[in-house]
Structure 1
Amino acid sequence: MSAVRSGAATGVPRLTIIVAPSDPLELVGDLAALGPTGAVGFQVRAKEATTAELLALTTAVLAATRGAGAPVLVNDRLDVALAAGADGVHLGADDLPVARARAIADRAAPPGFLVGATCRDRDAVVAARAAGADYAGFGPVAVTTSKPGLPDPLGVDAVGRAAGVLPLVAIGGIGPDLARGAVAAGAHGVAVIGSVWRQPDPLDAAEALLGAV
C-alpha cells in the first residue's frame, strides 16, 4: 500500500464540472478559463459509453482545457485516465479499490496524478485517506436528480463533521448558496452537473459558483 497522503489540496480544483457526452463541449474551453489557473476542473463521466467512446470524450475535454491548465479527471476508469493522459481518476464504492488504483497510478502516471474517492461520512474519508486518496467526493449534500439511486441527502452539517481529513469536494444539488455553505462548513470545493449545464447561460452559472467557493 502506498504511503498515507498528507491531505493537501494541491491540484484539487475549487469547482469541478462533470462532463457527459450530451453536454455542449464547445463551452468547455471557456469554462476552463474562468478564474485562476486550476480553479475550475472537469470530471468526465459517461457510464454507458464504450471504452473507445469514453477515451474519445476524455481526449476532447483535455484538448479543450490544456491551455487553461484545468485538471481533467475520469470517473470510474483508471485505465482510460492513464491512456488519455488525464490528471486523475474518481472512484466510487464499486470501482477499483483506492489502494490498488493508487499503487498503479504511482507506477504508471506522472507525479501529481489525483485519486479521488466517493465518501458519505467521516469514517469513509478516513479510510480513503489511508488507502491513498487525494480528496473525497462527499455527498449527496442535497437532493439531486442528476444521478439515480443515491441515498438521502447528507446536509451541510455532515460536511462539517467529515472535514479536516482530506480535501472534501461537496456534490449533490449544489447551487451558489449551498456551495457557499459547504465551503464555510469545511469543504475544499464543489462538483456540479445541472447547476452549470442546465442553466440558461452555463458560463454565468459557473462564474457564480466559482465566486461562491
Structure 2
Amino acid sequence: MTLLVDAADDLALLPDLAAAGVDGFQVRAKAVTDAELLCLARLVIGAVAPLGASVTVCDRVDVALASGADGVHVGADDLPVAEVRALADAVRPGLLVGATCRDRAGVVRAAAAGASYAGIGPVRASDSKAGLPEPLGVAAVAAAAGVLPLVAVGGLDAATARATRAAGAQGVAVIGAVWRDPDPVGAAEVLVAAVG
C-alpha cells in the first residue's frame, strides 16, 4: 500500500506508518518550493527507508533523482513517460517510473513508453485533488489489468481497496483514508490488512 505525503501531514507518524505495513510512500506537495520539496523527499526517505518502505516523488523526476528516491510518478500534464524514462536512465537506470492512466489503452501506451507501473483512477470520487475526472469504478481496474502492475487510486476505503486488489490491482494508493482518520496509524493497519 502506498500513502501520499504532503508537507502539511503529521510527518512524525511516518516511521509508525511504515511499521504498520505501509510499504510505499509518495511525496506529493504542490504548495512548496523546489528546495522544500527536496527536503521533504529526503525527510520521508530517512523516516521510512530504514523500515523497508520505498519512496516515490510525484511529478518531479529531478527531485526524485536528487533526493535518492526509488521512483517518480507522472501524470498526464507532466513530462511524458518516455522523456522521464530517458532522463532517469541517463542518471540512475532502474528508477521506478509510474504513470497515471484511465484505461487499458493508456496502460498499454505507458508500458510502451517505459513505465514501471500504472496508477489507475480515480476509482471512486475523491476530494483529495481538485479537477479529477469522473470515477472509473472497480470494473476499470479489471479491464486494465495484465499489462503493467496497477496501483488503484481515488476515494478508496478498505472495502474498495480489497475489491480493486481482487480485480487485478497489485497495490493501492491513498491519502484521505489515512490522513483524515483520527487514528492514521490504525487506519493504515486496516487498509494494509484489507489489501494484504
Instruction: Please give the TM-score of this superposition, normalised by the length of structure 1.
Output: 0.89
AA at the equivalent of 2:61? L
Aligned equivalent of 1:7 = none
Q: CA deviation at 1:34?
A: 2.4
Aligned equivalent of 2:9 = 23
In structure 2, C-alpha distance between the alignment counterparts of 1:61 and 1:135, rounded to whole Å: 21
Answer yes or no: is 1:65 the counterpart of 2:51.
no
Q: 2:74 aligns with which of 70, 80, 91?
A: 91
Q: CA deviation at 1:135?
A: 0.5
Q: CA deviation at 1:66?
A: 1.8
In structure 2, C-alpha distance between the alignment counterparts of 1:151 and 1:104, rounded to whole Å: 29
Q: CA deviation at 1:33?
A: 1.9
Q: Which runs of 5+ in 1 are unaligned?
A: 1-14
Higher relative contact order (CA 8 A, sep 6+): 1
Q: CA deviation at 1:131?
A: 0.3
Whether the aligned pair in 1 keeps the contact of 2:49 and 2:55 (CA below 8 Å) is no
In structure 2, C-alpha distance between the alignment counterparts of 1:70 and 1:106, rounded to whole Å: 22
Give the percent of matched residue pairs that are identical in Structure 1 and Structure 2.
64
Q: CA deviation at 1:69?
A: 1.5
SS at match of 1:72: strand
Q: CA deviation at 1:142?
A: 0.2
In structure 1, C-alpha distance between the alignment counterparts of 2:99 and 2:59, rounded to whole Å: 10
Aligned equivalent of 2:185 = 203
AA at the equivalent of 2:101? C
Whether the aligned pair in 1 keeps the contact of 2:142 and 2:167 (CA below 8 Å) is yes
In structure 2, C-alpha distance between the alignment counterparts of 1:17 and 1:85, rounded to whole Å: 18
SS at match of 2:47: helix
AA at the equivalent of 1:101? V
Whether the aligned pair in 1 keeps the contact of 2:152 and 2:172 (CA below 8 Å) is yes
In structure 2, C-alpha distance between the alignment counterparts of 1:16 and 1:118, rounded to whole Å: 14
Q: CA deviation at 1:48?
A: 2.0
Instruction: Please give the TM-score of this superposition, normalised by the length of structure 2.
Output: 0.97
Q: CA deviation at 1:112?
A: 3.6
> CA 1:41 to 1:156, structure 2 compared with 1: closer, same or farther past 3 Å?
same
The structure whose residues are more often helix, as a share, is: 2
AA at the equivalent of 1:21? A
The 5 A counterparts of 1:32-43 are: 32-35=18-21, 40-43=23-26
Q: Which runs of 5+ in 2 are unaligned?
A: none
Offset from partner CA, 1:95-143 (integer Å, 9 cap, x none)? 111011111111211x542000000010000000000000001000001
Q: CA deviation at 1:79?
A: 0.4
AA at the equivalent of 1:150? L
Q: Please list every run of at least 4 consecutive aligned residues from structure 1 whose deviation after the TM superposition is greater than 4 angstroms.
A: none
Aligned equivalent of 2:35 = 52
Whether the aligned pair in 1 keeps the contact of 2:104 and 2:143 (CA below 8 Å) is yes
In structure 2, C-alpha distance between the alignment counterparts of 1:89 and 1:133, rounded to whole Å: 10
In structure 1, C-alpha distance between the alignment counterparts of 2:146 and 2:32, rounded to whole Å: 35
In structure 2, C-alpha distance between the alignment counterparts of 1:63 and 1:116, rounded to whole Å: 22
